[in-house]
Structure formats: structure tokens, C-alpha cells
Structure 1
């Protein structure tokens, strides 16, 4: 009996030692396996499906005349969602189109006036120049005639009068001296008659010379009047030429008016383009493929420019934004394999790291924390990581905001 007990006791101790060794080995292997399993990956449950959600807003104001979609309806890019009453904008478009037509008509008139004004101004300038040249030539001739009449002819006439007067005086004196001698018969009657005839001839020649002097004076006065008249014509021609030269500015004015008319056309065309855009903006279409969400409008409602009408949520172009602790990102790199487990479906999908944000989520928040004053408590920050799906999941819909778990394989 004692021998049997000792045998059983020794056998149990051996089994205990074997079991203990196996347990230690299993613990070591499990610890090593867990280390190798978890050391090559990082995980987080702070992750959600994300997408470029497109808010649809009104570009023009007015009454909503037609709504063509309902909440949660699937739409395609370019599909008409709603229409704003376009009548006011079409009336404005007609108005600016009429203004454009008027501006084009004015421009045609201004363009047509430029060559006419240029030709007329050139013709008037040429004629004025010719008139000035002719007037100047006439004035020169009048001045020369006046100088000749006042200097040469008049001086000669005066000298001739003086000479004739001296001759007449001498003839009269001779006659007066000979008259007593004739009465005493100291000279013959024939000699006395010769003295009488000489006096008459001298007086006649004096009268003729005085008439020539008077005529020379009249000619000088006439020449002076012609000089004054020709000078007046020269001044008038100069004034006409100056006016014609000044009229050249009208050509510049015509060019400026044509340029202004062209600018008015461009302005009117811009107004037409803006009015056409406003008419187009009354029809609102989907910017992307997706589902209509957050529709806040009703038929007949008056909306304002910039007012949010609804939101388009895409379901094809989606990704995952995973917020990892900063201590987890030491080995995370773009293109690393990732596993995405969606809570809604209870299964995993393949993906990869697309990019890592440049700052922490807290730094990018609306009111980032300020740690410069007060007590500071160090908190592990989280950095957003964009994880893209490798393939579009068939039969599954990833909706923005859905919770997921993300594991990134760093080795």
C-alpha cells in the first residue's frame, strides 16, 4: 500500500511538471505571437466614412417655380433639381439686348461719320490754304502798287507841278514886263503876242500838271484802299485756315466718339452675358452624382442668392478618415495596406493609406486650444489619416459618417 502510494505520488508530480512546462511554453509562444501580431500594425476605432459633400445653393433670388427631386433621391450630375421663376430675368435680358442693339446702331453711325468728317475737314483745310495764298499774293501786289503810286508817280507829279508853276510864273512875269513896252511901241505887237501865248501855254501846262497830280493822289488813295482790302482778305483767309485747322479736332472727336461707341457695345455685350447667366442660373442642376439630402425648400418659397437649398451626398467617391494617436504614426507611411471594418456590415474591406494630415485635429478645429496660460494637462493628440478603398465594395454602400475600425499594417 505504501509502495503504491509512493508510486502514484511520484507519477503525479511528473505530470504536474509536464503540464507546468507546457503552460510556460504556451505562454511564451502566445506572448511572442501576440508581440509579432500587434507590433506590425496600428488600429483605431475613431474613424468614419468621408466624402466631398456638395451643398447646392441659389445663385439668383426669386420664387421656386418647380421642384423635380425628393429627399433621398438618387441623382446624376447635370440632372435638373429645381427651377426658379425666370420671367423677371428674361425681361431684363430682353432689355439689355435692346440696349446692345442701340449701342451697335450708334457705333455704326459714329464709324460712318469718321471718314466723312475727315474728308470734309481735309477739303476745307485745302481750300482755306489756297485762299490764304491767293489773298497774300493780292496783298503783295496791292502793296507794290501803293508804294509805286505813293512814291514814284505822286512824287513825279508833284515835281512836274512845281516845274510847271515856275514856268507859268516866269511867263506871267515876262508878260507883265513886256506889257508897258508894248504900250510904248518899244516892242512889236508880234513880240508881245508871243509873250501872251507863252503865258497861256504855261498856264495850260500847269493846269494839266495839277490834274495829273490830283489823279496821282486819287490813285494813291485807291491803292491804299486796295491794300487795306487785301489785308482784310488775308486776315479773313487766315481766320478761315485757323478754323479749318481747328476743325481737325473734330476728326479726333469723331474717332473718340467711335471709340466710346465701341466701348458701349462691349459694355452692353457684358450686360447681355450677365443677364443670360442669370437666366441660366434659374435652372439648378446637380453638380455631382449622389443622393439628395437635407432639402430645405418648398414650392413657391422665395430664396435669396447664396441660400442653401439642398445637399448632394456622393456614394461612389468615398474614403475613410481615421484619427490615429500621434504615438501610433511613427511607422505609418502612404501606400501601406489597411483593413477597414465597417460596423454596419460586420465585415472588413481592403484599403491603403492615401495621405496623412499636416496638423492634428485639435489644431484644425474652429477654436484651437491655447496652452500659453493656465495649467497644462498633456493630452495625446490625434492626427487624421486618409485611407482609400482599394476596390468599390459591390453590394455595400458606404455612407459618409458611418463608423469603421481601421487597421494599418506597417510591416
Structure 2
């Protein structure tokens, strides 16, 4: 190979290397531009997503507060007897649905029946006793009239005895004056003195009789006044003795009626402890009735979530029982008067020892839509997730 050919081939090879370098440089530049565009697009996407999230959080999501620390509850009615007795029959069992006023437990009513019969007899006796008071008033009025007549007669007898006494006194003094001159015999003077003593004794007896008749008359008046107090301003029906006996009769009737224990509300029977033959006392817990148609939710929100929560705001709830496909709707009924820890059996003693701040939770009561509850019933104690829309002003 000649020298010129060798130089030509070397030049061609050098040119090819330079061309490859240029091509590689072009590719690197294009890749750099592509990466720059990708980074710019990624940055723009991140910025746009962040802006969208900020806008969503600022203008929409910030108006909602949510918690999964929520559970269903109800105002459970505890069934207790108003009277004691032996359980004769139990007509319900746990999980059984009952209606208001449905018979749950029947107590033995023997004692109540006897007490009612006794109270009825006492009422009849009180009515007859009051009728006796009325009849006795007429009798005492007649006695007073008779005693008044006797008092007048006694007064007349006193007046007659007083006249006889004065006449005997005059006769005695006249004869005593004449006895010294011998005009009156001693025997006649003695008779006059005896007549005087007899008249004085008769006067004393008449006066005593008059005093006795006055006392008898006053006693009759007092007896009538005492009897009148028992019937004054009353009739037979509203007389206090009859009213008291009637009240005792009514109490006995109610006690008899209370031997039948009825359901105070609609609901489902729970925690039944009563058994046939058991001796129960008044006020003893027999069973509970849970009003599943009136279940509410107690949602425990953090204290930092409650600044805009108001009574009447709308709430959406989901239950673990039915899953996220079922949504319940309700309203905020009220906020508890204190945090859960403040009502604990052993409250926290934050004033002693080392202290660590813990975010507290406040129970919020939520009423549920009755129609939704009727379609999908909830039991007490189920877990719920509650979300409050704080955009509403509530009430």
C-alpha cells in the first residue's frame, strides 16, 4: 500500500471517529433536553397536584371532621317491679322483640287480691261511719233541745225553792220575834225552824239540779260540735275518712295491677335474669329492653376537631356491620358536658407528678334517621365512623 493510500485511510478513519463523537454528542444533548422536559413536567405535575390538594383541603375537606371512635348506643329501659312478690310466669326471653305495654312477667297476686278486698271493706266501713256521723248530728240536736228544756225546768224549780225558802225565812223570823212575848208556842217555833231548814235544803238541791242540767246541756252542745267537726263542709263522698279509705283502696288496686310487669317501650329484651319461682323485691332489676328503633351514636371527637361543630349539623355515618356501601345520615344532637376522662371512675390527676399532655376526646351525640334505621337496624355497641359537615350553621 502506498503512502498516499495509507494517509487516505487514516483520514477516513479519523473522520468516522469524529462523526461518531458528533453523533454521540447530539444524542446526549437530545437526552439531556428530554430529561429536562421530564423534570419540568414532573415539577409542574407535582406543583399542580399540590395546589389541587391544597385547594381541596382548604375549600372542601377542611369543613369535615371525622372519627372512627364512635359506637351505637340507646336509652335502655331497665324493667323493675313496683311491688315485691313471687314470680309466677315469665313470658319473654333474651333477643325477643316486644311492644310497649306487652306483658313481660307475672307475679303472684294472692296477697294483692286480699289487700284489695280488705281496702274495699275499709272503704265501706268508712262510708257507714260517716253516715253515722250525719245521723248522730240529728240525735245530738234533739238531745240539746231536751237538755235545754230540762235546764228551764230546773231554773223554775230553783225559783220555786227560792220562794219557799224566803217565805220560810220570813215565817221563822216572825215567830222568833213573837216567841219572847209568849204569843207563839215553842212547838210552833220549832215547826217554823224545821220548815226553814227544809226550804233551804230544797233550794240547795234545786240549785244543784240546775247546775247539773246546765252541765248536761253544755256537754250535749260540745258533743254536737265535736260531731259537726267530722262532717263540716263535706259530703259523704269527699269526707276525709272516706277519701282516705278510697285512696287506700286505689293503692291496693294499683298494687294488684303492678303484679303484671309490662314493657315500658318498644324494643328487644336483653339481660334477662328473672326466673319462675324467684322471690323479687320492689325495684329489683328483672331485665332490660333496648329500643333498637331509637339507636343513636356517641362519637368521640378530639378536642381540636370541635371548634366549628354545632348542634344540628349534618353527619354521615358508616357501620362496620354493613360496610362502606351503606351510609347513614343524622344530625348532631349535642356535645357532652365534659371529656371522657373527666367522668372516668379514676380521673387523671394532672396536678401531681410528671405531666404529659394528651389530646382529650369529647363525646358528641348523633341522632340517626329513623327510616334508615328501620331499613337496616343497628344493635347497641356497634362500631361506626362519623363525619360531620361543619359548613352547616346548626341551630
TM (norm. structure 2) is 0.81
Offset, 1:293: 1.7
Counterpart-to-counterpart distance in 1, 2:135 and 2:363: 69
**CA radius of gyration, larger in:** 1
Within the alignment, does 1:370 sit opposite 2:343 as a pair? no
How far does residue 74 in structure 1 lie from its aligned partner after superposition?
1.6
Cα deviation 1:155-209 (Å, max 9, x = unaligned): 35755x4xxxxxxxxxxxxxxxxxxxxxxxxxxxxxxxxxxxxxxxxxxxxxxx4
Q: Per-residue deviation at 1:397?
A: 0.8
Tell me which residue corresponds to 1:177. none
| C-alpha deviation, 1:45, in angstroms | 0.8
Q: Distance in 2 between matches of 1:391 and 1:249?
A: 72
Matches within 5 A, 1:363-402: 363-390=342-369, 392-393=371-372, 395-402=375-382
Q: 1:99 to 1:131 in 2, by over 3 A?
A: same
For 1:275, the equivalent position in structure 2 comes to 252
Tell me, in whole angstroms, the C-alpha distance in 1 between the residues paired with 2:108 and 2:212.
66
Task: Quote the residue 1:232 is aligned against.
Answer: 205
- Specify the alignment match of 1:140 in structure 2: 162
Q: Which of 95, 103, 114 matches 1:91?
A: 114
| Partner SS for 1:311 | strand
Find out whether 1:74 has 2:54 as its counterpart. no
SS of the residue aligned with 2:286? Answer: strand
Instruction: Tell me the distance in 2 between the aligned counterparts of 1:297 and 1:231.
Output: 84
Note if contact 1:350-1:391 (Cα within 8 Å) is conserved in structure 2: no
**Structure 2 equivalent of residue 331 of structure 1:** 308
Aligned to 2:57: 35
Shift of 1:247: 3.8
SS in 2 for 1:58: coil
Q: Which has the higher contact order (CA 8 A, sep 6+)?
A: 1
Q: Which residues of structure 2 form unaligned runs of 5+? A: 1-19
Q: How does 1:175-214 map to 2 (within 5 A)?
A: 209-210=183-184
Structure-1 residue corresponding to 2:216 = 243
* Between 394-403 and 295-304, the greater mean CA deviation after superposition: 295-304
Which is further off, 376-385 or 234-243? 234-243
Offset from partner CA, 1:268-294 (integer Å, 9 cap, x none): 333322221221111111111111222
The count of aligned residue pairs is 360
In structure 1, the residue matched to 2:263 is 286
Does the aligned pair in 2 maintain the 1:154–1:217 contact within 8 Å? no
Q: Which runs of 5+ in 1 are unaligned?
A: 162-208
Residue number among 125, 128, 140 corresponding to 2:150 in the alignment: 128
What residue in structure 1 maps to residue 389 of structure 2?
Answer: 409
Match of 1:299 in 2: 276
Q: Deviations over 1:116-151 (max 9, x none)?
A: 123203421x12331332133223322431343234
CA distance 1:224–1:13, shift in 2 (3 Å): closer
When the two chains are superposed, the root-mean-square deviation of aligned CA atoms in Å is 2.8
Structure 1 residue 216, shift from structure 2 partner: 6.0
Instruction: Check whether the contact 1:41–1:408 (CA below 8 A) recurs between aligned residues.
Output: yes
TM-score, normalisation: structure 1: 0.78
What is the CA-CA distance between 1:299 and the residue it aligns to?
A: 3.0
